[in-house]
Amino acid sequence: MVRQKCLAFLTVIALSALSTAFAESLVIENIDQSSAALMVRPNRGMSMDTVESKWGKPVIKQASVGDPPISRWEYSSFIVYFEYRSVIHTVVKN
């Protein structure tokens, strides 16, 4: 038991040392690409009004932040990112 805890501690130390060597890491879980490609979702350039009329009200509306203002609407199966009032990206949820 003590040996396992010691090994776990050393692993954490080694990983934390490695994490400082890289500026950023992005972890993306595997999703079924075929089902994600077939999903109908908002396209780049669509207005907020068009998105809301086709998919209804989002579950969560995050207020815009930054300059240019970026806002996020969360639906049950995807998240839509807007710049000003236009879609810039849609991400499929797992």
* Mean pLDDT of successive 10-residue stretches along the chain, which has 94 residues: 60 57 58 60 94 95 94 94 96 85
Domain ranges of the chain: 2-28+40-92
What is residue 64's predicted lDDT score, i.e. its pLDDT? Answer: 94
What is residue 37's predicted lDDT score, i.e. its pLDDT? Answer: 55
**Alpha-helical segments (H) within 1-94:** 2-19, 33-38, 48-55
- C-alpha dist (Å) from residue 21 to 33, 74, 83, 91: 31, 34, 33, 29
pTM for this predicted structure:
0.61
Residues 21/25/29/35 CA torsion (nearest 10 deg): -140
What is residue 87's predicted lDDT score, i.e. its pLDDT? Answer: 96
What is residue 12's predicted lDDT score, i.e. its pLDDT? Answer: 57
- Give the tokens for residue 59: 């579950």
What is residue 93's predicted lDDT score, i.e. its pLDDT? Answer: 85
Q: What angle do CA 67, 61, 76 make, to 5 degrees?
A: 130
DSSP 8-state secondary structure symbol assigned to residue 42: P
